[in-house]
Amino acid sequence: MNARRHYSIPLPQRAPLLLGARTLVMGILNVTPDSFADGGAHVDLDRAVEAGIRMAADGADILDIGGESTRPGADPLPEDEELRRVLPVVERLARQVQLPISIDTYKARVAREAVARGASIINDISGLQYEPALGAVAAETGAALILMHTRGRSSGMYDLAVYDDAAADVTRELGEAIGRAVAAGVPREAIIVDPGFGFAKRAEHSYEVLARLDVLAALDRPILSGPSRKSFLRVALGDREPSAREWGTAAAVTASVLHGAHIVRVHGVAAMADVVRVADRIRGAT
């Protein structure tokens, strides 16, 4: 396997995020009643904050807070409702944990308000396709920017899941997303890329991209991998509820690490932190 490059990602109001020496664990904190993976377990503010604190204790390196479900077929969430859901959680966790906080949103105003309350990373599932103004927010605030690959909106993304070479096509389109971000004023060194498993990809595409994740290294940006509990795992596991896909997630997380991911985004932080530790040892032994 190829050596994993090291990066230093500047963050506002805190030390840079150092990537490459070990794989970082990003804990997913959904504060939405219709999350595909956890059924709205963290909608209540106190429960959401408790969950974030628990993730930090369980080994998370980053907390990713999102207020809108972006599963295939989900309806868009009004901006005011997203702000109502996420801002109190961001503000309280920024005071109570020492970890960088990521705001999972494609909306410029939500990102700006979240960074003002302590978030230092913007996680955009659209790769600056839904709200191009989000790039200017990242540039002005100094927040790091995660660009995920997708095509179209949630309602019709599978109609666009046609690839000549999934890994190469995803890499090329992420390169275009990087171009959009740089044109908006985002420093290249502040950008992280995510292949977007399950987004505008059928199961076979997600498996192909995962197996060839190291192709993304050609972009010379750190790689975030988010296979946790995704529907593509059902091809191997059968028709199980998302919460019953943790062993499959562990396999996908291991593959992510071995193929060069710098960050893995997961729901079950405690278990996946153990998986990452072992996978990192395997990488280091080669």
pLDDT 10s per residue in the chain (286 long)?
778 999 999 999 999 999 999 999 999 999 987 544 454 555 689 999 999 999 999 999 999 999 998 776 667 889 999 999 999 999 999 999 999 999 999 999 999 999 999 999 999 999 999 999 999 999 999 999 999 999 998 878 888 999 999 999 999 999 999 999 999 999 999 999 999 999 999 999 999 999 999 999 999 999 999 999 999 999 999 999 999 999 999 999 999 999 999 999 999 999 999 999 999 999 999 7
265 is catalytic: yes
> Within a 10 A sphere around the Cβ of 16, how many other Cβ atoms?
14
Domains and CATH numbers, the chain: 7-285 (3.20.20.20)
Separation CA 141–CA 34 (nearest Å):
30
Tell me which of 230, 234, 245, 283 is the catalytic residue.
230
> Residue 271 corresponds to which tokens in the numbers above?
């278990």
Q: Which phi and psi angles does 69 have, rounded to 5°?
A: -70, 130
Q: Provide the token pair at 115.
A: 């960074």
pLDDT at 154: 81
3-state helix, strand and coil shares in percent for the chain, rounded to the nearest 5: 45, 15, 40
Q: What does the pLDDT read at residue 34?
A: 52
The span from the CA of 213 to the CA of 216, in Å, is 6
> Residue 164, SS3?
coil
Would you state the structure tokens that stand for residue 60, as one six-digit string?
């998370």
Type of residue found at 233: L
Give the residue from 230, 234, 111, 241 showing the smallest Cα distance to 256.
Answer: 230
Q: Is 28 helix (H, G, I), strand (E, B) or coil?
A: strand
98's CB contacts (< 8 A; 6+ apart) are: 56
pLDDT at 133: 97
Q: What is the structure's pLDDT at 32?
A: 83
pLDDT of residue 36: 47
| Residue type, position 228, single letter | S
Check if the beta carbon of residue 117 is closer than 8 Å to that of residue 102. no
pLDDT tens-place string over residues 64-118? 999 998 776 667 889 999 999 999 999 999 999 999 999 999 999 999 999 999 9
Q: How far lies 140's CA from each of 94, 101, 126, 143, 190, in Å?
A: 20, 18, 19, 8, 12
- Enter the pTM of the model: 0.95
204, 233 in Cβ contact below 8 A?
no
Q: Which of 107, 229, 245, 265 is catalytic?
A: 265
pLDDT on residue 244: 95
201 in active site: no
- Rounded-to-integer distance, Cα 275 and Cα 283, Å: 12
**Using CA atoms, how far apart are residues 268 and 5, in angstroms rounded to an integer?**
26
Residue reference for tokens 């505008």: 200
